[in-house]
Amino acid sequence: MNQSHTKQKAPRDEATHVVNGVDVEVLGGTVGAVQAEPELGVCRFRASNIWVDGARNESRVTGFYGAGQEIAHRQVFAMVADEPPILAGNDDGANPVEHLLHALASCLTTSMVAHAAVRGIHIQAMESRLEGDLDLNGFFGLDPETPKGFTNIRARFRVDAAEGDMDAIRELTQFSPALNTLTQGVAVDVQVARK
């Protein structure tokens, strides 16, 4: 991992409303609005995807529904998925399940950082390594008893924070939407229509 991305963050004065790089006044404003009117918490997140060729396809994320309105992102986000040569791809992007691990890593990170911020817990640095077990006997359809998805995922975090804050920080992982989605499962309705 490129360690140049790790940088020390100076704990900032809470009078600036910024803790861990999170503007807790802004975040608190959203939390307060949802608390006052729970319906504002309803969100619909979206991604669209176009198959390019072979194992390569690309997603676009442009906006979402939240706080009772359609909200456009400041820019269009593009993500590329491909497969390595062993799976007949050209390795032009991480593969779908690697993107899934990124989603989980980023969600756990943001959940800890943001929830720590609103609690006044300062974090100087955080990094993680995730690994998931997947048996191709399932995906290839060679053995119907073999699960087709990840069977286990391990997430290992290293956090630079005060020793006395570590237990509180560990507790905050429970808030992660991606963690909850993955551990509890979610109903997915797939419909395939002819174009």
- By CB under 8 A, what part of segment 62-81 binds a second copy? 64, 66-67, 71, 73-75, 77, 79, 81
Helix (H, G, I), strand (E, B), or coil: what is residue 176? coil
Binding to a second copy by residue 168, rule CB under 8 A? no
CA distance 39 to 18: 27
What minimum distance in Å lies between the beta carbon of 10 and a second copy?
Answer: 11
Query: Interface residues for a second copy in 102-161 (CB under 8 A)?
Result: 102-115, 123, 125-143, 146-161
Quick count: other Cβ atoms within 10 Å of Cβ 3?
A: 7
Binding to a second copy by residue 12, rule CB under 8 A? no
CA distance 98 to 81: 9
What minimum distance in Å lies between the beta carbon of 120 and a second copy?
Answer: 15
What minimum distance in Å lies between the beta carbon of 66 and a second copy?
Answer: 6
Query: Interface residues for a second copy in 13-52 (CB under 8 A)?
Result: 20-24, 26-27, 30-31, 34-35, 38, 40-52
Buried (b) or exposed (e) across 153-183, using 16+ Cβ within 10 A? bebebebebeeebeeebeebbeebebbeebe
